[in-house]
Structure 1
Amino acid sequence: MTILDKIVKRKREEITVSKSKICIEELKDSQFFGRKTLSLKESIKNKSGVIAEFKRQSPSKGIINDQVSPLEVVSAYEKFGASGISILTDKDFFGGSFEDILSVRNHINIPILRKDFMVDEYQFYEAKSIGADVILLIASCLSANQVQEFTELSHELGLEVLLEIHTEEELNHFNPKIDLVGINNRNLKDFKVDLQHSVNLKNLLPKDVLSIAESGIYTIEDFNYLKEKGFDGFLMGEYFMKNKNPANTFEEFIKTIS
């Protein structure tokens, strides 16, 4: 069993518990369910293209930074030009929670991606209820039919969809309704990073699709290489979060790429 298999197995257990506690109708009554969502697609076109991530830990790296508050970090991300914010909500493997989104939603005016392992329609109502604007669909966790169904549900709820792929086979999960396609530079099964592999995949996408380079961007050179190869956006977390002050690191990064 790969780490991805373990995460999905645990996620299904969590969802069963959540459904027993809060039904979808209750989620619809939440504070943020009726709010008008923000477009990550438009924000990427008009700003830096960087989707800056708040991430405390990961299965491959362990604790990255558990000493800073979400609000402190994401406020700086917005201030210095991030196109969007990615926030992990998986607890067991990434140390995240819904509270990490809830605590910042009223304080920032750029899109928030709920980054989690979405395998059940219940989670999309959760995402809407906590104030997310975008959700992540990971092709390696889902069938092409599930991606289609979840994309339609997301759009019904006013949420945009970022589809994450890593292999040529997973290109079959793409459908024209997908808002953005993320190509993970890191293989989720063995965690190896290969930027050239991502570029090769990007070149197989339809030309009009907004492409996002995800994970494994460790240097300015990595960023510039991927930008030169035509990626529209860049989902980056560890680059900033591994430093004691992610806000300062992000500010310096934006100055450098500008």
Structure 2
Amino acid sequence: MLADLTAGAAQDALARQEAVSLADVEAQALAAPPALDALSALSRGDRVKVIAEVKRASPSRGHLAEIADPAGLAADYERGGASAISVLTEGRRFKGSLDDLRSVRDRVVLPVLRKDFVSMPYQVFEARAARADLVLLIVAALDQKTLSELFVLSTELGMTTLVETHSADELSRALDLGARLVGVNARDLSTFELDKTLFAQLAPSIPADVVKVAESAVSQPSDVAAYREAGADVVLIGEALVTNDPVSTLESFLAV
């Protein structure tokens, strides 16, 4: 599944490149206002922080929510206490777009993450051109050379990189990059199976100066509490927020 998602996202990016050249999107990225300091916004605090996600669908659950107004949803998240907004921009299975990201960026003052299956420089330049402050890189989807090149490019463009892992080996690869924001996804993106214990297994191996993000498997406040107890600085939540009242649900997660 992960290979298919990554290949599809690359094909779609190449199609967009036919309309807007690499040189043009690079120029747009370099002309964009500076990215916000997402690392500071997400660093460990007295309470867990939340990256709240704009997410219409997923391969594992299918349709989740219409979200006709992604910017309005992001504003609700901001009002509810989120520390950053994640926007799914993959169109085939998650039904997102870069237009969603642009509209969210126009509405909120929080850092905004482009969440997609990034495998080529064009997609990184696109993210910055759309004024993303963070970009997701999935270790399992990339060889180390490509991962390193995209990490360096993202950093040079001023963005914070959320480097996502799902095993001890992937965590080691992320730390070798010098990643300062590391995610542990409970969902195996090859099979879409969940392992709720994975974050607790890997967190002790993450250095204290690295911001730790727990991803997936959050449906109730007790899930957030368990992640926090295991050492999470940040929890990324999508499905539970888009399928319930976003503000009250987010507030309940932040109250743990």
Q: Normalized against structure 2, the TM-score is what?
A: 0.92
1:195 deviates by 2.2
Matches within 5 A, 1:62-73: 62-73=62-73
Q: Distance in 2 between matches of 1:128 and 1:31?
A: 5
Please say if residues 48 and 83 of structure 1, whose CA atoms lie closer than 8 Å, have aligned partners that are also in contact.
Answer: no
1:187 deviates by 1.2
Q: RMSD over aligned Cα, in angstroms?
A: 1.8
Q: Amino acid of the residue matched to residue 181 of structure 2?
A: L
Q: Which residue of the partner structure matches residue 226 of structure 2?
A: 225
Cα 1:207–1:250 shift into 2, 3 Å: closer
Q: Which residue of the partner structure matches residue 200 of structure 2?
A: 199
Q: Distance in 2 between matches of 1:204 and 1:99?
A: 37
Please say if residues 49 and 82 of structure 1, whose CA atoms lie closer than 8 Å, have aligned partners that are also in contact.
Answer: yes
Please say if residues 29 and 125 of structure 2, whose CA atoms lie closer than 8 Å, have aligned partners that are also in contact.
Answer: no
Does the alignment pair 1:180 with 2:178? no
Q: Which residue of the partner structure matches residue 171 of structure 1?
A: 171
Q: Distance in 1 between matches of 2:62 and 2:227?
A: 26
Q: Amino acid of the residue matched to residue 204 of structure 2?
A: N
1:28 deviates by 4.0
Please say if residues 56 and 66 of structure 1, whose CA atoms lie closer than 8 Å, have aligned partners that are also in contact.
Answer: yes
User: For this pair of structures, how many residues does the alignment match?
Assistant: 253
Q: Which residue of the partner structure matches residue 146 of structure 1?
A: 146
Q: Amino acid of the residue matched to residue 71 of structure 2?
A: L
Q: Which residue of the partner structure matches residue 111 of structure 2?
A: 111
Superimposed CA distance per residue, residues 98-123 of structure 1 (whole angstroms, 9 cap, x where no aligned partner)? 11111121221110000000100110
1:231 is paired with a residue whose SS is coil
Gaps of 5+ in 2: none
Please say if residues 49 and 232 of structure 1, whose CA atoms lie closer than 8 Å, have aligned partners that are also in contact.
Answer: yes
Q: Amino acid of the residue matched to residue 204 of structure 1?
A: S
1:190 is paired with a residue whose SS is coil
Q: Distance in 1 between matches of 2:124 and 2:226?
A: 34
Q: Which residue of the partner structure matches residue 21 of structure 2?
A: 23
Please say if residues 240 and 249 of structure 1, whose CA atoms lie closer than 8 Å, have aligned partners that are also in contact.
Answer: yes
Cα 1:238–1:33 shift into 2, 3 Å: farther
Q: Distance in 1 between matches of 2:29 and 2:166?
A: 36
1:9 deviates by 1.9
Q: Which residue of the partner structure matches residue 52 of structure 1?
A: 52
Superimposed CA distance per residue, residues 160-182 of structure 1 (whole angstroms, 9 cap, x where no aligned partner)? 10100001221232225312000
Please say if residues 27 and 33 of structure 1, whose CA atoms lie closer than 8 Å, have aligned partners that are also in contact.
Answer: no
Gaps of 5+ in 1: none
Q: Distance in 1 between matches of 2:66 and 2:30?
A: 27
Aligned match of 2:10 in 9, 12, 22? 12
Which piece of structure 1 moves more, 92-101 or 15-24? Answer: 15-24
Q: Amino acid of the residue matched to residue 239 of structure 1?
A: A
1:58 deviates by 0.2
Please say if residues 186 and 194 of structure 2, whose CA atoms lie closer than 8 Å, have aligned partners that are also in contact.
Answer: yes
Q: Which residue of the partner structure matches residue 208 of structure 1?
A: 209
Superimposed CA distance per residue, residues 42-97 of structure 1 (whole angstroms, 9 cap, x where no aligned partner)? 11136851000010000000011114421111101112221100000000010000
Q: Distance in 2 between matches of 1:227 and 1:33?
A: 38
Which piece of structure 1 moves more, 166-175 or 212-221? Answer: 166-175
Q: Amino acid of the residue matched to residue 140 of structure 1?
A: A
Please say if residues 53 and 237 of structure 1, whose CA atoms lie closer than 8 Å, have aligned partners that are also in contact.
Answer: yes
Q: Distance in 2 between matches of 1:181 and 1:121?
A: 20
Cα 1:32–1:105 shift into 2, 3 Å: farther
- Identity, in percent, stands at 33
Q: Amino acid of the residue matched to residue 40 of structure 2?
A: E
Please say if residues 147 and 173 of structure 1, whose CA atoms lie closer than 8 Å, have aligned partners that are also in contact.
Answer: no
Please say if residues 181 and 210 of structure 1, whose CA atoms lie closer than 8 Å, have aligned partners that are also in contact.
Answer: yes
Which piece of structure 1 moves more, 214-223 or 57-66? Answer: 214-223
Q: Distance in 2 between matches of 1:219 and 1:252?
A: 8
